[in-house]
Amino acid sequence: MTAATVLVVDDEPDIRSLVREILEDEGFRVAEAQNGAEARAQREQIRPDLILLDIWMPDIDGITLLKEWSSAGRPAPPVIIMSGHGTVETAVEATRLGAYDFLEKPLSTAKLLLTVRNALDAARLHQENVRLRQHAIIPAHDLIGRSDAMARLREHIRRVANHHTPVLIEGESGAEKESVARCIHEQSGRADGPFIKVSVSALSPEDATAEMFGFEDGGEVTPGCMERAEGGSLFLKDIADMDLATQARLQNAIEKQAYTRRGGATPVPLDVRLMAATRYRLDERVKDGSFRDDFFFQISVVPVRVPPLREHYEDIPELLDYYVNFFVEHEGLPYRRFSTAVQNRLRRYAWPGNIRELKNLVQRLLILGNSDTVELEEVEPALGDRSAAPREAGDSGNFDLPLREAREKFERAYLEHQLRQANGSVSKIARVVGMERTHLYRKLKSLGIDLKP
């Protein structure tokens, strides 16, 4: 594990030197600041794991600095206050503002080391609790299945996980590419770090730079996704929708392992594992000019293909069991079993929406059912005429068209079909197709699909 970095903020050189010597002897990395201005700069540049902060400094007192950091509304390293003129009131005020503890000078070596270790342990425990709460609502179905296709996927993930190169996850809509990204993260050396997901399709070109790289304004820093993912993984969903300017900035950041925030001038080190996902052929996007070739080659060093459900249909009974138990446990829905006839029918179904469609089907049947067993007469209306969707999409009449025109023709037919299925409800369509509503509205408008009845 990488040694923790401690920032020592004190205007007395002897104190800084003493604390540095003590901490470095114990294996910590140490940075120093002699006043509030340097403390602010060091905190942003090196992003320490812990700060030892003196109260009395020439330009600003430590309590004011602590108050400034506490009100910034962003994750912050633990702070331990140091003072040779401590009072009970000062200690109470410091802890109220978020300081982990209060140390009096002259410093006791034993107490200093104990407090530093306890503060770092508490911060790690907090991060782990946050991570567990996030993952508690994410079903781990992505690797469910004993088929050869899933066995190959598991092995590929195992090989990829402990490398630090970018990963491109390819798969059809609904194939749960995010879950594969989470598996890669959990099996990597970055598992203790954050997993930050960005839905690229929801970003406008005007906001993308600030969202991705953060921004600075009047000395205030707002971290972006890259900064929040530091030490962990950044998952970019729908990477094909990223505008060319943001692609260029991200490509440059990966190449240089550093970036600058919007409005800033100081480079910020990049310590992030990048994973991107797409349902499109990015090499085709490169050919039509909507995706940068240098960025494509950079993120596709390690491709991972997620097989569509129709390629591992033998896993459907196990997936059905998983989702039934999931909805019973997490949503309090009544338990129902799927008859053998239904399971056989679902094995033959084309699953254009892949695992997401199966999950939604199970949820619907549990909600609407009034018996202990799901039978064929319930399933057929639920499937509707979607079985034909893949054949319609593959109509040979589209094969002579240019790629962009054929893709638009398919998207128009597909979304018109979904509109009919959802009785015109855009929110329902967004859930089925896995798009943000704002992006879906833009897509419908660009295809000339009228939402008016």
The residue ranges of every structural domain in the chain are 5-134, 141-305, 309-389, 394-446
Q: What angle do the packed helices 205-213 and 244-256 form, to 10 degrees?
A: 20
Q: Collapse the DSSP code of 70 into the 3-class scheme (helix H, G, I; strand E, B; otherwise coil) and give the result.
A: helix
DSSP string covering 103-116: EESSPPHHHHHHHH
Residue 254 has pLDDT above 60, yes or no: yes
What pLDDT, on a 0 to 100 scale, did the predictor assign at position 95?
78
- In CATH, which of 3.40.640.10, 3.40.50.2300, 1.10.357.10, 3.30.70.2860 is domain 5-134? 3.40.50.2300
Supply angle C-alpha 129, 360, 326, rounded to 5: 40
**CATH number listed for the domain at residues 394-446:** 1.10.10.60
pLDDT band, very low/low/confident/very high, at 351 (cuts 50, 70, 90): very high
Residues 138-196 pLDDT 10s = 444 457 888 999 999 999 999 999 888 999 999 999 998 999 999 999 999 998 889 99
pTM of this structure: 0.62
Distance CA 166, CA 168 (A): 7
Under 8 Å between Cβ of 336 and 324: yes
Closest CA to 222 of 212, 230, 232: 212
Under 8 Å between Cβ of 375 and 368: no
Supply angle C-alpha 29, 34, 39, rounded to 5: 70
**CATH number listed for the domain at residues 309-389:** 1.10.8.60
Total residue count of the chain as it appears in this document: 453
- Of the listed ranges 2-16, 263-277, 332-346, 398-412, the least confidently predicted one is 398-412
Under 8 Å between Cβ of 97 and 141: no
Residues 294-306 pLDDT 10s = 999 999 999 999 9
What pLDDT, on a 0 to 100 scale, did the predictor assign at position 122?
85
Closest CA to 272 of 362, 373, 350, 195: 195
Closest CA to 49 of 2, 11, 87, 94: 2
Residues 77-122 pLDDT 10s = 899 998 876 666 777 778 778 888 888 888 899 999 999 999 998 8
Sign of CA dihedral 132, 197, 192, 82: negative
**Which helix H or strand E contains 81, and what residues bound it?**
strand 79-83
- Return all residues near 127 (Cβ < 8 A) that are at least 6 apart: 192, 194
Burial per residue of 258-296, b for 16 or more beta-carbon CB atoms within 10 angstroms, e otherwise: ebbbbebeeebebbbbbbbbbbbebeebbeeebbbeebb
**Two structure tokens written together for 115:** 């407090």
pLDDT band, very low/low/confident/very high, at 126 (cuts 50, 70, 90): confident
| Amino acid letter for position 234 | L
Does this chain's domain 5-134 share its CATH topology with 141-305? yes
Query: What's the whole-number average pLDDT of the chain?
Result: 84
Residue 386 has pLDDT above 60, yes or no: no
What pLDDT, on a 0 to 100 scale, did the predictor assign at position 420?
76
Helix ranges restricted to H, 137-230: 148-161, 177-186, 205-213, 225-228
**CATH number listed for the domain at residues 141-305:** 3.40.50.300
- Residue 374 pairs with which residues in a beta bridge? 338
**Two structure tokens written together for 17:** 């030197």
**Two structure tokens written together for 214:** 């953060």
Under 8 Å between Cβ of 426 and 441: yes
